[in-house]
Amino acid sequence: MRYVFKKYGGFMKLFKILLSVLFSVLLTANAFATEKWDMALAYGASNFHSANAAEFAKNVSEKSGGKLTIVTHPGGSLFKGGEIFRAVRTGQAQIGERFMSALGKEDPLLEIDSQPFLATSYDDAMKLYQASKPAIIKGLDQKGLVFLYAVPWPAQGLYSKKEINSVADLKGLKFRAYNSATIRMAELTGMAPTKIEAAEISQAFSTGAVESMITSPTTGKNSKIWENGVKYFYDIAAWFPKNMIVAHRGSWNKLDKATQKMIMEEAAVAEKKGWALSKKGNVADKKALADAGMKVGKVNAALESHFKKVGATMAEEWKKKAGDRGASVLATYN
């Protein structure tokens, strides 16, 4: 009996040792396990925002030492543009890009960059970004999101199928809107707004659902807007709206501090490159519109004055909506 017990006790001791080794192996494997993040992008792979995001994802994946792999899904293939913010917030996607000012209902500060004629140059757009960034990051953090970086579109211009020479020419014009600011601008100028995401622009113009819009020369070039009967681009430089990259807080917290630090460093690199690409596109893409046969120019003095009055009205409305937070950001900006 003593022999059996001794033998059994030895077996148990060996079993415990093996169990301990197995547990250690599992812990080590878990420590080096690769996290996989799906990155939802609304715009096509050739769009400079998407291309920049793809490079960011590649750099992070390579520099993580196998700890993190980011897979990009451009063109709304994972989630459509209007679904991305919710998807990242709920963790359905670990990371994604969203047009900031489309989220005004989530936080009025996210649409500060789409207030008409508040910032009409890249220098002013950067100053506005720096003034608003701390408050925006804090607001996103409260929603369970980690802000990584933001990149502007080129200056927004007015597209139209017909020539626009007066305020009267705007009346009743079927207008593609993409956020509350463009909807309000349409209302104040007498145009008839319809909210349409960027991926649906070509179809909307080809079917006659819209006949004008305010957006970047890049969006017009990428959608080959001239093929849908749009002949005019008026370079009014109304605003420089941005796309932002955000990550799900729960997914972020699974990463070690070194990986988080590296991601933030790569985000800063992507942001700097993205702003440079935007500036390049602001020139090259307007040339592409002209080369395609569109008439690219400015609005006349009367129309410019009208748009600026509309912008002033919208600014006052936004201040009331944004409250003390908005007033503080504007004071810093000014």
Q: For the segment 22-53, what is each residue's pLDDT rounded down to a tens digit?
A: 555 444 444 445 899 999 999 999 999 999 99
Domain that holds residue 131: 34-107+120-152+241-285
Domain count, the chain: 2
Tell me: the pLDDT tens digits for 169-214? 999 999 999 888 889 999 999 999 999 988 899 999 999 999 999 9
Please check the confidence at residue 18 and state whether its pLDDT lies above 90: no
**139 and 279 housed in the same domain:** yes
The answer as to whether 14 is a domain residue is no
The answer as to whether 181 is a domain residue is yes
Are 186 and 180 in contact by the 8 Å Cβ rule? The answer is: no
What is the C-alpha to C-alpha distance for residues 154 and 127, in angstroms, rounded to an integer?
16
Which amino acid is located at 110 in the chain? Answer: L
Q: SS3 of 296, please?
A: strand
Q: SS3 of 203, please?
A: helix
| Edge-to-edge strand list for the sheet holding 242-248 | 68-73, 35-40, 95-99, 242-248, 145-152
The answer as to whether 208 is a domain residue is yes
**102 and 163 housed in the same domain:** no
User: What pLDDT sits at residue 37?
Assistant: 98
Which amino acid is located at 29 in the chain? Answer: A
User: What pLDDT sits at residue 10?
Assistant: 55
Tokens of residue 285, six digits: 């893409």
**270 and 131 housed in the same domain:** yes
**250 and 328 housed in the same domain:** no
Among the listed residues 175, 92, 90, 146, the one whose alpha carbon sits nearest the alpha carbon of residue 73 = 92
Tell me: the pLDDT tens digits for 58-98? 999 999 999 999 999 999 999 999 999 999 999 999 999 99
Instruction: Give the predicted TM-score (pTM) of the model.
Output: 0.83
User: What pLDDT sits at residue 21?
Assistant: 44
> What does R_g of the chain's alpha carbons equal in angstroms?
25
Beta strands in 41-104 (DSSP E): 68-73, 95-99
